[in-house]
Amino acid sequence: MPATFQSLKNWTWDFGGGTSDLSGDVRFNAYDHGTLGRILEVQNNPTFSPHIAAKGRIPLVRDKVYRITAKWFLLGQQANEVSVNAAIFAIGIKPDGSQWNNISVGVSIANGQQGWGFNNYATHTLEVHTNMLIENGAQWVRPLFRLDSQGVFIVQSVEIRDITGEYFANSSANAAAGSASTASIKAGEAGNSASAANASQTNAATNDYNSYQNRLAAAGHENAAWDHRVGAAGHESNAQTYRNEASQSASNASGSASTASQQAGLASNSANAAGQSAGAAAGSASTASSKASEASQSASAASSSQVSASNAAAGSQEKFAKSFPNFVGPIGKDAYVYAGDNGNGFSWEHGPDAGWPQPYITAQAGGQGGTYNRIHFKESVPKTVGRRYRVTGWFYTNATNCQIVSLWLLTTDNNIWDTNAVGRGGDTTPPGCVNNISINSPGFNKFGLEFTVGSDWKSLWKPVFEFETTGGAPNQIWHMTGITIEDITSEKAATDSASAASSSYSNALYESGLALQRAEAASGSANTASIKAGEAAGSASAASGSAAQASSSASAASSSATLSATYSTGGGNLLPETTYAINTVGWNTYSPHGNYALTWQRDLAGDEWRPTNEHNIGIQQSDDNGGRWAQWHSDQVAVTSSTWYEFSGSIAAHRCEAYLRVDWYDVNGTGIRSDYGDTNPATHPGGRNINSWKRCWGKVQSPSNAARAAIIFVKNGTIGGLGYTDSYAWFCRPMLRQTFEQANGPSPFGHGSSALTASAQSASISNNQTAIATANSSLANLTTIVQSGSPNLLKNGGFALGMNYWSGTHGGWNPHTSGGWGRVTGNGTNFEGYNYIESERVPIFGGTHYTFSADSAFFINSGGTGHVYLEMIWYDGAGNYITQNSGPTRNATHDFSNDGSSRNALKMTVQSPSNATHVMTRLVAYKSGGVVNTINWRQVKLEQGQNMTVFSNEASVTTMSETVTAVDGKANTALARASTRLDVNGYVTGWEMANNGQSGNMILNVDNLEIRKPGSSGARTEFSGSNMRVYDSNGVLRVRLGVW
């Protein structure tokens, strides 16, 4: 569930279970602020009490405790100088979509408090006990933040977090605190010595000081953990400037845990000392009062130190962000300088355009500039020996006279590029980047270098981007984004010390989050720090272990920089066929030159040119025509508009260039635009080692009207002028998946669903079984049944048997195979109101959980609205209706999905009534206005249990098996009959019994025998009715023999 505002499509104003989003409301504006990172600005003037809720929902589990946290401040335009008010809600969502919202807390910001004014966040929380929501009929919970007062507000995050362990640990600690307090009082009553009281006072002061140290450390660690967590998820400036934020958080968590453990030890010692002193203490009331005052002053000082530390960190980040912004355009341009041969026509504000790596890029038209074209920051970074950095940026050109494009470092002692300045290269090129290469074709290319600052460097350094031509100005336009500087010291150290085991960054983030939570729990509250020794020690130990685990996981992630760099919401690779394991189903070929001198082939040129244990597709050109290009392109897949996607593929090329692009289409299949990824300029030849292939990558936001997309692999013509007479290019590991705007490198590759290959295999198996059954009934036994972990109780849930076992309110349903989606049933007939199909009644157990799911595609033209959902109708043993349940709705204009997300969106889990014996399932579509384009269903599954599993079709397979058994029965009956016996010449010699092989002569009953030539006229001989008749060519009877 999102906590920050990367995309307003993930946020809604809906107070209940709806899924409308904020992206179209101009009163809400999410953007990247140069200082504050990613923020949401809300215009509540005039006041409309805006709701801000994440579109997701969390399933409720008994005995859980959640904390909802809102971080916000007032920017201006308030009605007066009195408090501004807001509220935090825990919205309980019921199965029918209604909501229960009686858990909330009102919060406010007063003039002079945290949150009143720019960059002065207030943090407010609400703790939620799931039992109360469940007891009021809720099945899910969603956090919601409401602004009640007039003004313009900045919201950094609205987060919900599971604090069950922390909550119960604190409860135990508080109970222990009470016991300790009672023991202390009783011990005090036993004391009566003034000198002992004096010693006790001294010891108590020492203990109080230790307690103050504990509280101060705990507050500092908790603040650091919070800032690291929110910074990793939401602050673009932090994320882009400090790529190792996530792994640093884990490291900090580990440090926090270690410190917490030490402080716990101090607290334990202090507690022991306090107990010993208390045994002899007389503890006067005035001393207690004095100590209480001192404790209050200590807490105040700790709070002041915490605020000072936070302000200092924010000030440092703000200074770096202003001096080295990773973007150009109206805001960032003032930090950069053009340092090339000729700055005529150079612009820092070309844009904005959502299809570029950044909204604004530089631009310089062809014929302007010079041989050397450079940009760099005005300021320099001070040298810190041993720190490691990564510098990246994106370059685009239409020019064809490029000599080399590079990123390098300029080191100085005075920030002046003079004869004393020294240029340096990097240690390595980061994954997904290039450097020091020639670029002479369109497409954004990501350049990068990594380096460690040495002791022999001059005192200052800055990165320089340089575009060098073969001579003179670039002959076409060229562009460059802003330059990103990231401190990756901790990330690199973690990577170097990690094991070879690979785990995803999302796991690292999860483990890091656990460590942070446990570290927070270990540090404890300021009021009880001195009496939680046992609990703090235990929590600190757990935190230390989790932090170490998180650090290990983080170190294995090559891009463990920011959440946005590697996390994907799309559920994996959207392309259904990426393995080419059997054939090239799902992929198509094209060239404007037809087939002349071109060959498209799976595993082109044999095994030596495909990666070990993998397959590929390739294109061969058998001439030297540099203009002859060709492509492979995928089937179109469904996408979401205005959403960030990454696309990639591994490409090998011999004597030609090859590249990758993505094409976008609207709902009518009309092309919108193409976006280009990296190019392999024949530098990676491929072969058995996948490291010899170039992983070409691109990231782009889909157009606002995009509904589908396709991946295109293009091979350009044979490179001319070098005597080449042919060329080859290969392609494997294609991927299209959702990503985040700040992602600056590819996600780990994962194959698609392979649904198309599986479908082809299934069809072949089915045909073979049919052929065998026809040849010999004794072989018609279905011996292969693939069974999932949870069988499908519905007969014909995949519509392989047409509409058998289904009935509906409307006609026109057409079961068929739909391209890459497999078997579906569809209906394009227009209707108004409800249109549903329902299954036959299925036997079930009473008082048992069942899960019902289906995949749907629903499109409406001409401005209508509609939705789909599922229903379960329950019956008793006499066939009487008991009740029915409905699942969540999904709005029209959506397609099937191959990753299970579409089935999951409609999934419903219900406990059957105790007296139920049967259930009928129903697939419901509703429309109001407009014209139906199509409504389609597929992969319908009813299963026992509370979890949705992959689609399977056991009930249908059972039905087919029963049919085959019936055929076998009839075949066995046929064994009691006879067949014709033939000799070696093929002549009939008699009969042979089928059941025992006995034979006999042929004896015919002539009353049952007719011999005639086909037809009823012309010359012929007939034998019927115990008579033989011979007719001439005119049909005249000439001979008749037999009984008259």
Supply the DSSP string of 330-386, one letter for each residue: HHHGGGEEE-SS--TT-EEEE---TTSSSS-EEEB-TT-S-SEEEEEESS-EEP-TT
Rounded Cα distance between 510 and 367, Å, is: 52
Secondary structure element (H or E) that encloses residue 265, with its range: helix 245-279
Top-tier CATH class for 1-245: mainly beta
Q: Which two tokens stand for residue 825?
A: 């049933």
Q: Do 876 and 868 meet the contact criterion of CB atoms below 8 Å apart?
A: no
Rounded Cα distance between 463 and 456, Å, is: 17
Q: Do 960 and 888 meet the contact criterion of CB atoms below 8 Å apart?
A: no
Q: Which two tokens stand for residue 522?
A: 């270990």
Q: Do 1026 and 1010 meet the contact criterion of CB atoms below 8 Å apart?
A: no
Helix ranges (H only) for 776-915 are 901-906
From the list 386, 333, 408, 385, the residue with the least C-alpha distance to 363 is: 333
Please give the CATH topology (third level) of the domain spanning 324-490. Answer: Jelly Rolls (2.60.120)
Rounded Cα distance between 236 and 244, Å, is: 13
The CATH H-level (homologous superfamily) assignment of domain 791-966 is Galactose-binding domain-like (2.60.120.260)
pTM given for the model: 0.30
Secondary structure element (H or E) that encloses residue 969, with its range: helix 954-974
CA angle 220, 226, 230 (to 5 degrees): 150
Strands 84-93 and 99-109: antiparallel
Q: Which two tokens stand for residue 596?
A: 């002349």
* pLDDT for the residue numbered 689: 92
493-513 burial, b at 16+ Cβ within 10 Å, e below that, comes to bbbeebeeeebbbeebbebbb
Helix ranges (H only) for 697-852 are 755-775
Q: What is the pLDDT of residues 50-88, one digit of tens each?
A: 999 988 888 898 889 999 999 999 988 888 888 899 999
Q: What is the CA radius of gyration of the chain?
A: 38
Rounded Cα distance between 1023 and 1040, Å, is: 10
From the list 466, 464, 486, 462, the residue with the least C-alpha distance to 474 is: 466
Q: Phi-psi bin for 583: left (phi > 0), alpha (psi -120 to 50), beta? A: beta
CA 233 to chain centre: 15
Q: Which two tokens stand for residue 748?
A: 């780990």
3-class secondary structure, 127: strand
For the chain, the domains span 1-245, 324-490, 587-753, 791-966, 979-1041
Rounded Cα distance between 754 and 820, Å, is: 10
Residue 431, preceding peptide bond in cis (omega within 30° of 0): no
Helix ranges (H only) for 751-864 are 755-775
Domain spanning 587-753 has what CATH number?
2.60.120.260
Asked whether this chain's domains 1-245 and 587-753 adopt the same fold, the reply is: yes
Q: Do 47 and 84 meet the contact criterion of CB atoms below 8 Å apart?
A: no
Indicate the DSSP class of residue 940.
Answer: E
Using 50 as the pLDDT threshold, list the residues of the chain that sit under it: 179-180, 183, 186-187, 190-212, 214-289, 291-292, 295-296, 298-303, 305-307, 309-310, 313-314, 497-571, 755, 757-789, 962-976
Supply the DSSP string of 63-108, one letter for each residue: T-EEEEEEEEEEEE--SSSS-EEEEEEEEEE-TTS-EEEEEEEEEE
Q: Do 952 and 940 meet the contact criterion of CB atoms below 8 Å apart?
A: no
Dihedral angle of Cα 253, 258, 260, 264, to the nearest 10 degrees: 160
Rounded Cα distance between 31 and 352, Å, is: 14
From the list 399, 372, 409, the residue with the least C-alpha distance to 485 is: 409
Q: What is the pLDDT of residues 680-736, one digit of tens each?
A: 999 999 999 999 999 999 999 999 999 999 999 999 999 999 999 999 999 999 999
